Amino acid sequence: MSTPGQEEHSKGGVYSSKGKEFTRDSSYITTRIVAEPRPGTDDHPVEPGRYHLVAARACPWANRTIIVRELLGLTDVISLGAPGPTHDADSWTFDLDPGGVDPVLGIHKLKDAYEKRFPGYPRGITVPAIVEVATGEVVTNDFAQMTLDFSTEWKQYHRDGAPDLWPEHLRDEMAPVMKRIYTEVNNGVYRCGFAGSQEAYDSAYDRLWTAMDWLEERLADRRYLMGDAITEADVRLFTTLVRFDAVYHGHFKCNRNKLSEMPVLWAYARDLFQTPGFGETIDFDQIKQHYHIVHTDLNPLGIVPKGPDLSGWTTPHGRG
């Protein structure tokens, strides 16, 4: 959901006005990829090999899609393109690929896929995005719906034993949990980092830590957010927790304490990190480069810190 252009406060969000709180732009391309396209819609059909997921490892919103793709075993069904951790004001770019060109789409900039479908596309060029390989056109950048559809619409292509990340019998209970995680934690760290006044920052800080304390308490008597099995809710929380000590604690001033100083959340996060499909999607160097180089309004010299020590992620978690 990170977006080039208008500096970081529109990488998925904008300041409502100077001195006010960070407000996220939540308008996305709502086209869906579904098993049975609905008549009269712009739905696209599920089809192996037809789509290319463009998802930067540095971006927490894109990281969700990479994790779910791994957990469900869709790696041979939906190809993955990985932009570099930094981008210019115009677009995410494929700096990590030979010649700076995505090998599947043959483009330098993700913007080309947006413009192919929507000439003069007026909004930010966000990741994650799914692009149709044959046409080179972006299909959707609706990150929240994307992973739910991976779980439900692509089910016939899931690996044997794939987890049910969006279990039907838990959806009514999961929805408010995921909403609170999004508003208070996933977006809450950004609300702290890009607060436009002391008052806005103080309010954002208090909201974040109220939610973090709630999570510490909730996870004290259950292994995962919804009980004994990993769900979409855990994926959504993990991508913020794994970035917390590396960037949010200092860079975004979320510094009441480190994640590693919260016994339950720290053990829970390590448990997920050490679960296949989670930790191998994380590149701490790319994460730190993205936040400290791209956010020139917060870090004008672009200096990337060498710390903190992140070796603790592989230590025993005791949650089994």
Catalytic residues: 59, 190
Q: What angle do CA 109, 114, 115 make, to 5 degrees?
A: 90
First to last CA, the chain: 33
User: Where do runs of H (alpha helix) occur along 56-184?
Assistant: 60-72, 111-117, 143-152, 171-180
Q: Which two tokens stand for residue 25?
A: 């732009």
Number of H-type helices and E-type strands within the chain: 10, 8
Nearest 10 degrees: CA dihedral of 33, 36, 37, 39?
-170
Tell me the chain's radius of gyration from C-alpha atoms: 19
Q: For residue 137, how many other CB atoms are within 10 A of its CB?
A: 17
Contact 81, 96 (CB under 8 A): no
Measured N-to-C along each axis, helices 263-273 and 232-243 cross at an angle, to the nearest 10 degrees, of 110
Beta bridge partners of 132: 51, 137
d(CA 69, CA 65): 6
Q: Is 313 annotated as a binding residue?
A: no
Nearest 10 degrees: CA dihedral of 79, 62, 262, 260?
70
Residue numbering of the annotated binding site for glutathione: 92
